[in-house]
Amino acid sequence: MSSRNRQRLFMRVMMVIAAVSLADGIIELCVSGAVHQLALAIVMFSLIAFLRWQRRRSERKSGAPFIPPQADSA
Amino acid sequence: MGYTGAMFLTSIVLAVPILSSSALLFWILRWLRAVPSGGASVLAYLLLVCAGYATLFLYASADMLLLAPIQLQQRYLGRIEASPLSLRSYSHEGFMDPGDSWSYALRPDVTARLQRHCLPLPTAWEKTEGRIRCYIVSREDERTYSDIWIEQGRLHLEDGLH
Protein backbone atom coordinates (compact mmCIF):
# COMPACT_ATOMS: atom_id res chain seq x y z
CA MET A 1 0.00 0.00 0.00
CA SER A 2 1.44 3.36 -1.02
CA SER A 3 1.75 6.27 1.39
CA ARG A 4 -0.92 8.11 -0.57
CA ASN A 5 -3.38 5.26 -0.06
CA ARG A 6 -2.42 5.04 3.61
CA GLN A 7 -3.17 8.73 4.00
CA ARG A 8 -6.50 8.23 2.29
CA LEU A 9 -7.31 5.36 4.63
CA PHE A 10 -6.41 7.55 7.62
CA MET A 11 -8.73 10.28 6.37
CA ARG A 12 -11.53 7.76 5.81
CA VAL A 13 -11.20 6.38 9.34
CA MET A 14 -11.30 9.94 10.70
CA MET A 15 -14.35 10.65 8.53
CA VAL A 16 -16.15 7.60 9.93
CA ILE A 17 -15.40 8.67 13.52
CA ALA A 18 -16.57 12.21 12.74
CA ALA A 19 -19.79 10.92 11.12
CA VAL A 20 -20.58 8.65 14.11
CA SER A 21 -19.84 11.58 16.44
CA LEU A 22 -22.18 13.79 14.44
CA ALA A 23 -25.00 11.25 14.69
CA ASP A 24 -24.39 10.80 18.40
CA GLY A 25 -24.13 14.57 18.87
CA ILE A 26 -27.53 15.10 17.24
CA ILE A 27 -29.09 12.43 19.50
CA GLU A 28 -27.49 13.97 22.60
CA LEU A 29 -28.64 17.44 21.58
CA CYS A 30 -32.21 16.16 21.18
CA VAL A 31 -32.45 14.22 24.44
CA SER A 32 -30.35 16.30 26.81
CA GLY A 33 -29.38 19.54 25.08
CA ALA A 34 -25.68 18.63 25.31
CA VAL A 35 -23.49 20.13 22.60
CA HIS A 36 -20.01 18.74 23.31
CA GLN A 37 -20.17 15.82 20.87
CA LEU A 38 -21.74 17.92 18.13
CA ALA A 39 -19.07 20.61 18.54
CA LEU A 40 -16.33 17.98 18.37
CA ALA A 41 -17.82 16.49 15.20
CA ILE A 42 -17.90 19.94 13.57
CA VAL A 43 -14.25 20.54 14.53
CA MET A 44 -13.30 17.13 13.09
CA PHE A 45 -15.13 17.79 9.81
CA SER A 46 -13.44 21.21 9.56
CA LEU A 47 -9.99 19.68 10.11
CA ILE A 48 -10.68 16.93 7.55
CA ALA A 49 -11.89 19.50 5.00
CA PHE A 50 -8.84 21.68 5.59
CA LEU A 51 -6.44 18.74 5.28
CA ARG A 52 -8.12 17.65 2.03
CA TRP A 53 -7.95 21.18 0.64
CA GLN A 54 -4.28 21.40 1.57
CA ARG A 55 -3.52 18.06 -0.08
CA ARG A 56 -5.27 19.10 -3.29
CA ARG A 57 -3.46 22.41 -3.30
CA SER A 58 -0.06 20.75 -2.83
CA GLU A 59 -0.87 18.26 -5.61
CA ARG A 60 -1.82 21.10 -7.96
CA LYS A 61 1.34 23.01 -7.06
CA SER A 62 3.53 19.98 -7.68
CA GLY A 63 1.92 19.59 -11.12
CA ALA A 64 0.43 16.18 -10.47
CA PRO A 65 -3.19 16.13 -11.59
CA PHE A 66 -5.74 15.62 -8.86
CA ILE A 67 -7.38 12.24 -9.27
CA PRO A 68 -10.76 11.84 -7.62
CA PRO A 69 -10.88 8.88 -5.21
CA GLN A 70 -13.38 6.90 -7.35
CA ALA A 71 -11.29 7.15 -10.52
CA ASP A 72 -8.11 6.39 -8.60
CA SER A 73 -9.52 3.30 -6.92
CA ALA A 74 -10.88 2.03 -10.25
CA MET B 1 -23.49 20.58 36.47
CA GLY B 2 -25.11 19.36 33.28
CA TYR B 3 -24.04 16.66 30.84
CA THR B 4 -21.85 18.99 28.76
CA GLY B 5 -20.20 20.31 31.93
CA ALA B 6 -19.51 16.79 33.17
CA MET B 7 -17.96 15.85 29.84
CA PHE B 8 -15.88 19.04 29.85
CA LEU B 9 -14.53 18.11 33.28
CA THR B 10 -13.83 14.55 32.09
CA SER B 11 -11.96 16.00 29.08
CA ILE B 12 -9.69 17.98 31.38
CA VAL B 13 -9.07 15.05 33.73
CA LEU B 14 -8.27 12.70 30.83
CA ALA B 15 -6.31 15.25 28.79
CA VAL B 16 -2.88 13.79 29.57
CA PRO B 17 -3.71 10.15 28.63
CA ILE B 18 -5.53 11.23 25.46
CA LEU B 19 -2.80 13.66 24.33
CA SER B 20 -0.04 11.12 25.02
CA SER B 21 -1.83 8.16 23.40
CA SER B 22 -2.62 10.36 20.38
CA ALA B 23 1.05 11.37 20.20
CA LEU B 24 2.10 7.70 20.28
CA LEU B 25 -0.43 6.79 17.59
CA PHE B 26 0.65 9.80 15.53
CA TRP B 27 4.29 8.73 15.78
CA ILE B 28 3.38 5.22 14.53
CA LEU B 29 1.25 6.63 11.69
CA ARG B 30 4.04 9.04 10.77
CA TRP B 31 6.47 6.12 10.64
CA LEU B 32 4.02 4.32 8.35
CA ARG B 33 3.66 7.56 6.33
CA ALA B 34 -0.10 7.40 6.82
CA VAL B 35 -0.34 11.05 7.89
CA PRO B 36 0.72 14.08 5.85
CA SER B 37 4.12 15.59 6.52
CA GLY B 38 5.06 19.24 6.98
CA GLY B 39 2.69 21.79 8.48
CA ALA B 40 -0.31 19.56 7.84
CA SER B 41 1.06 17.04 10.34
CA VAL B 42 0.06 19.37 13.19
CA LEU B 43 -3.52 19.31 11.91
CA ALA B 44 -3.34 15.53 11.59
CA TYR B 45 -2.25 15.31 15.23
CA LEU B 46 -5.12 17.60 16.25
CA LEU B 47 -7.46 15.36 14.27
CA LEU B 48 -6.17 12.33 16.17
CA VAL B 49 -6.71 14.12 19.49
CA CYS B 50 -10.27 14.98 18.43
CA ALA B 51 -10.82 11.34 17.42
CA GLY B 52 -9.62 10.27 20.87
CA TYR B 53 -12.05 12.62 22.57
CA ALA B 54 -14.84 11.57 20.19
CA THR B 55 -14.24 7.92 21.14
CA LEU B 56 -14.32 8.84 24.84
CA PHE B 57 -17.56 10.78 24.40
CA LEU B 58 -19.09 7.92 22.41
CA TYR B 59 -18.25 5.50 25.21
CA ALA B 60 -19.74 7.90 27.79
CA SER B 61 -22.82 8.35 25.64
CA ALA B 62 -23.32 4.60 25.23
CA ASP B 63 -22.87 4.14 28.97
CA MET B 64 -25.20 6.95 30.03
CA LEU B 65 -27.91 6.67 27.39
CA LEU B 66 -27.97 2.89 26.82
CA LEU B 67 -26.24 0.70 29.39
CA ALA B 68 -26.98 2.49 32.69
CA PRO B 69 -30.80 2.79 32.21
CA ILE B 70 -31.00 -0.79 30.88
CA GLN B 71 -29.18 -2.08 33.99
CA LEU B 72 -31.41 0.04 36.21
CA GLN B 73 -34.58 -1.34 34.62
CA GLN B 74 -33.30 -4.92 34.78
CA ARG B 75 -32.35 -4.50 38.45
CA TYR B 76 -35.59 -2.94 39.66
CA LEU B 77 -38.24 -3.88 37.09
CA GLY B 78 -36.85 -7.31 36.20
CA ARG B 79 -36.94 -6.58 32.48
CA ILE B 80 -36.44 -3.79 29.96
CA GLU B 81 -39.81 -2.03 29.84
CA ALA B 82 -38.67 1.02 27.85
CA SER B 83 -36.34 0.60 24.89
CA PRO B 84 -33.52 3.06 24.21
CA LEU B 85 -35.44 4.26 21.14
CA SER B 86 -38.22 5.59 23.37
CA LEU B 87 -35.83 7.78 25.39
CA ARG B 88 -37.25 11.30 25.42
CA SER B 89 -34.96 13.15 27.80
CA TYR B 90 -31.83 12.67 29.82
CA SER B 91 -30.16 14.91 32.36
CA HIS B 92 -27.07 14.70 34.48
CA GLU B 93 -26.88 16.76 37.63
CA GLY B 94 -24.44 17.32 40.45
CA PHE B 95 -20.69 17.37 40.76
CA MET B 96 -19.55 15.59 43.94
CA ASP B 97 -22.82 13.65 44.18
CA PRO B 98 -23.82 13.10 40.58
CA GLY B 99 -27.25 11.87 39.60
CA ASP B 100 -28.82 10.88 36.32
CA SER B 101 -32.43 10.97 35.24
CA TRP B 102 -34.07 9.45 32.19
CA SER B 103 -37.55 9.82 30.79
CA TYR B 104 -39.11 7.31 28.38
CA ALA B 105 -42.33 7.33 26.43
CA LEU B 106 -44.37 4.25 27.29
CA ARG B 107 -47.02 2.39 25.33
CA PRO B 108 -50.46 2.53 27.04
CA ASP B 109 -50.54 -1.23 27.67
CA VAL B 110 -47.09 -1.14 29.33
CA THR B 111 -48.18 1.88 31.40
CA ALA B 112 -51.29 0.03 32.58
CA ARG B 113 -49.27 -3.08 33.43
CA LEU B 114 -46.64 -1.11 35.39
CA GLN B 115 -49.26 0.93 37.25
CA ARG B 116 -50.42 -2.29 38.90
CA HIS B 117 -47.07 -2.34 40.72
CA CYS B 118 -47.35 1.09 42.33
CA LEU B 119 -45.88 1.19 45.80
CA PRO B 120 -48.34 1.26 48.69
CA LEU B 121 -46.40 4.04 50.33
CA PRO B 122 -47.53 7.53 51.23
CA THR B 123 -45.30 8.73 48.40
CA ALA B 124 -46.89 6.42 45.85
CA TRP B 125 -49.53 8.10 43.71
CA GLU B 126 -48.13 11.35 45.03
CA LYS B 127 -49.90 14.40 43.72
CA THR B 128 -47.45 17.04 42.52
CA GLU B 129 -48.74 20.25 40.99
CA GLY B 130 -51.95 18.55 39.98
CA ARG B 131 -50.10 15.66 38.33
CA ILE B 132 -50.11 12.16 39.73
CA ARG B 133 -46.91 10.19 40.16
CA CYS B 134 -47.03 6.44 40.50
CA TYR B 135 -43.84 5.31 42.20
CA ILE B 136 -42.73 1.80 41.35
CA VAL B 137 -39.36 1.99 43.08
CA SER B 138 -38.29 4.45 45.74
CA ARG B 139 -35.21 3.52 47.68
CA GLU B 140 -32.23 5.18 49.24
CA ASP B 141 -29.40 4.28 51.57
CA GLU B 142 -26.63 6.30 53.16
CA ARG B 143 -24.97 6.97 49.82
CA THR B 144 -27.21 6.15 46.85
CA TYR B 145 -30.79 6.65 45.75
CA SER B 146 -32.96 5.23 42.97
CA ASP B 147 -36.48 6.23 41.98
CA ILE B 148 -38.68 4.89 39.23
CA TRP B 149 -42.10 6.36 38.61
CA ILE B 150 -44.75 6.82 35.96
CA GLU B 151 -46.22 10.20 35.23
CA GLN B 152 -48.42 11.12 32.30
CA GLY B 153 -47.59 8.01 30.31
CA ARG B 154 -43.85 8.40 30.79
CA LEU B 155 -41.45 6.22 32.71
CA HIS B 156 -39.00 8.26 34.77
CA LEU B 157 -35.81 6.81 36.21
CA GLU B 158 -33.50 8.53 38.65
CA ASP B 159 -30.28 7.14 40.02
CA GLY B 160 -27.36 8.72 41.78
CA LEU B 161 -25.49 9.62 44.92
CA HIS B 162 -26.61 11.90 47.71
Tell whether the model's pLDDT for residue B148 goes beyond 50.
Answer: yes
Instruction: Kindly state the DSSP code that residue A67 receives in the 8-state scheme.
Output: -
Mean pLDDT for B64-91 is 93
Q: How many domains does chain A have?
A: 1
Facing residue for A31 by CB, picked from B2, B54, B90: B90
Mean pLDDT for A36-40 is 94
Q: What is the pLDDT of residue A12?
A: 94
Facing residue for A43 by CB, picked from B4, B50, B89: B50
Domain with A32 in it: 3-63
CA B71 to chain centre: 12
CA B33 to chain centre: 38
Mean pLDDT for B91-120 is 89
Task: Round to whole Å and give the CA distance between B131 and B129.
Answer: 5
**SS3 (DSSP) at B81:** coil
0.80 exceeded by pTM = yes
Task: Round to whole Å and give the CA distance between A58 and A64.
Answer: 9
Mean pLDDT for B91-115 is 90
Judged by CB atoms closer than 8 Å, whether chains meet at A10 and B89 is answered as no
Mean pLDDT for B100-116 is 92
Q: Is residue A52 part of a domain?
A: yes
Query: Which amino acid is located at B31 in the chain?
Result: W
* Closest by Cα among B76, B91, B84 to B145: B76
**Cα dihedral value A68, B25, A49, B50, nearest 10:** 150
Q: Is residue A12 part of a domain?
A: yes
Q: Is residue A58 part of a domain?
A: yes
H-state helical runs in chain B: 3-13, 15-31, 40-62, 68-76, 108-115
* Closest by Cα among A1, A20, A3 to A55: A3
- List the single range of A53-57, B115-119, B121-125, B145-149 with lowest mean pLDDT: B121-125
Q: Quick: pLDDT tens for B8-56.
A: 888 999 999 999 999 999 999 999 988 888 888 899 999 999 999 999 9
Residue B7 to chain A, least CA–CA distance (Å)? 7
Facing residue for B47 by CB, picked from A36, A44, A54: A44
* Bigger pLDDT: A25 vs B3: A25
Q: What is the pLDDT of residue B38?
A: 82
The residues of A whose Cβ lies within 8 A of any Cβ of B are 3, 6-7, 9-10, 13-14, 17-18, 20-21, 24, 27-28, 31-37, 40-41, 43-44, 47-48, 50-51, 54-55
User: How many CB pairs (< 8 A) connect A and B?
Assistant: 91
Q: Is residue A68 part of a domain?
A: no
On the 0-12 / 13-18 / 19+ scale of CB atoms within 10 A, B20 is: exposed
Tell whether the model's pLDDT for residue A74 goes beyond 50.
Answer: no
Q: Is residue A72 part of a domain?
A: no
Q: Is residue A15 part of a domain?
A: yes
CB B64 within 8 A of CB B100: yes
At B60, the pLDDT band (50, 70, 90 cuts) reads very high
Kindly state the percentage of chain A with pLDDT values over 70: 84
Q: What is the pLDDT of residue B128?
A: 60
Query: Which amino acid is located at A9 in the chain?
Result: L
Contacts of B87 (CB under 8 A, 6+ apart): A31, B65, B69, B102, B103, B104
Tell whether the model's pLDDT for residue B100 goes beyond 60.
Answer: yes
Interface test with B, best of A12, A26, A28, A55 (most B CBs within 10 A): A28
